[in-house]
Structure 1
């Protein structure tokens, strides 16, 4: 990385952001799925700040037992405290802990970056909640931790009285969806809230994130065998159903469903569809507060023509510069290069590098634009 690192420093020159570090991550055989997501999370400014703060506080207590959270905090601290501005770090301890924690990631097969992100965020939440509960159960506790207003990620319909704690992972990534069903007989609207850390969107050829979000929130009619049981009518009725974003998150993570099971083939196929993702995204038609705006700061890209093989890289925006992270290699790229990862207009194309997971930060939150 020596030559590449100095090339990056030269490219940034006097514009190299004060205190920032751009480090590639070593690949241990098949860990590009992990490296690409870690880079996106590292350049998610509020998440990184809170993780580093957590690490500093846990160091002070001195009795933190090793888990995925402490390994991630240790890795981010290692990167941010490097004397050099660029280089390579081996996330060995984190990867070892990941494999120990989840057998899914132990094999040398191609892994899914979205599955890893989901597992990681939920694991961090579990650890933080357990730690907060342990503090709460100690005698002479201080004021109780802040609670969330909604149920857990997999909320139970009967509404459990015990509400979960709102960790800093929730505060960054969690949004609330409302599933509304309107009985066409009596017009009664039944609404059910559920929380999410990311939105998985169906995609179509030559579409955009905006149109995918509109489809996600489009009204669906329930009839024939799909009729809805209306509590007020006490019978099955035709109804209209739609999904809305009730509370948008600070960090909006969008997962494009590029891997689809094709029954005729009896296997998954990668959809290389061209899906335009803008640098600035305005949520409309899908959210109650239509004025909320987001800025793109990271993209995890899947490289390859199929779902069971390939490679992951990430594009990251840091201090108004776009960077390309490919395991150990880090390069500066032009903003216009982001468009090359939208996808292909033809089904078979030599371009196999497609945006897969998009990270947007709400404008107005502490963001990467400084």
Structure 2
């Protein structure tokens, strides 16, 4: 009986041995499939098997997994350095391309046309205004008198070009489309006078373009009127009988007095709106009246001209170099609503004398969204373009700011 029992047990051992051999082969196959770095990480991050005879302290100590990290040789084999280098290279390439891109944004100055270059750069900063012109190309392209708009858009399309001779030819063509004979040469002129002339010329084309559009079953909307024109109410009140008159006036910009000693843009605007005495012979016999201006409507872009040039008692033109505190944000109230404005561009006159000097422009980067915290701006000094920030502009342009462009933000607020 014992032999039979032993004989019956032997086959089982053989079967068990076969099974073990199959497991070992399977394990070897799995090992063969593992990548080369598997054993490397396994060595550096090993969990030691714990026997039952070890005390609890030793057992808990040996269960701790400590990863020492990869050596420089191991990181190289895993391609870690290659990934980092590729990312750094990509960032450097992006930065280099951006630097080349904004350096091409400048305009050459073949004569004394820095005042033209500065006005153009500020207008090009107004993205919505430029798009309003561009989307109606099918209309103004058919009217010969609208050469100014065609020339302006040609400059816009070549804004990122590095072809300086081509830009010079475009600037010359633009200069020739200005109707006012004052600007028909390459001699320095006043930037505010040019800006006002350009906007008025675009506005004067509106009736012609509206007629053209109506004949084709379409409509035309003047970009200047939609973005920069606003109404003000001029109210006169007699100091004797309190009777008076009101009239509405259209503006594309306001000219603010620069007060000696320095004031903020907000204070200068409030001074402009404050009632002033006026000599007026009323029917009641009084000879003085009060006159004040107030906003009836608000524009999408508020252009403020700082009156840095004035005449002396002997009629000599002089420049006022007193500081102006430039605000990034400006709140303006009208008879209908309240508007919140953000500074987007400045035109600056560099120089102490009214008879000489140089115009440069600062403008917000159009590739940056309104909520982008980077605060990226550019300074356009003819063909030279450098990076700056809005805060730096407000700080550095206190004594040289000449024209300020504020763009309206957010939704309309009803009073």
With the shorter chain as reference, the TM-score category is 0.7 to 0.9
Alignment partner, residue 350 of structure 1: none
Q: How does 1:91-110 map to 2 (within 5 A)?
A: 91-99=168-176, 101-110=179-188
Verify: 1:72 aligned to 2:121, yes or no: no
Of residues 238, 250, 259 in structure 2, which corresponds to 1:183? 238
Verify: 1:302 aligned to 2:349, yes or no: yes
Contact 2:360–2:379, Cα closer than 8 Å, also in 1: yes
Distance in 1 separating the partners of 2:207 and 2:124: 22
Q: How does 1:50-199 map to 2 (within 5 A)?
A: 50-55=132-137, 57-58=138-139, 67-79=147-159, 90-99=167-176, 101-136=179-214, 138=215, 142=217, 145=219, 167-199=222-254
Residue 65 and residue 282 in structure 1: after superposition, are their counterparts in 2 closer, same or farther (change >3 A)? closer
Alignment partner, residue 401 of structure 2: 355
Contact 1:282–1:290, Cα closer than 8 Å, also in 2: no
Alignment partner of 1:306: what SS? Answer: coil
Distance in 2 separating the partners of 1:337 and 1:142: 49
Alignment partner, residue 35 of structure 1: 117
Shift of residue 132 of structure 1?
1.7
1:7-46 Cα offsets, whole Å, 9 max, x none, are xx979839959x9996111112011100011011001011
Of residues 311, 333, 336 in structure 1, which corresponds to 2:388? 333
Contact 2:326–2:398, Cα closer than 8 Å, also in 1: no
Aligned length: 310
Shift of residue 341 of structure 1?
3.5
Contact 1:180–1:191, Cα closer than 8 Å, also in 2: yes
Scaled by the length of structure 2, the TM-score of the pair is 0.67
Shift of residue 98 of structure 1?
2.3
Contact 2:111–2:187, Cα closer than 8 Å, also in 1: no
Alignment partner, residue 4 of structure 1: none
Scaled by the length of structure 1, the TM-score of the pair is 0.74
Residue 238 and residue 102 in structure 1: after superposition, are their counterparts in 2 closer, same or farther (change >3 A)? closer
Q: Which has the higher strand share?
A: 1
Alignment partner of 1:27: what SS? Answer: coil
More contact order relative to length (CA 8 Å, sep ≥ 6)? 1
Distance in 1 separating the partners of 2:130 and 2:197: 18
Of residues 273, 282, 292 in structure 2, which corresponds to 1:229? 282
Alignment partner, residue 65 of structure 2: none
Gaps of 5+ in 1: 1-8, 147-165, 345-353, 366-370
Residue 228 and residue 87 in structure 1: after superposition, are their counterparts in 2 closer, same or farther (change >3 A)? farther
Distance in 2 separating the partners of 1:14 and 1:58: 39
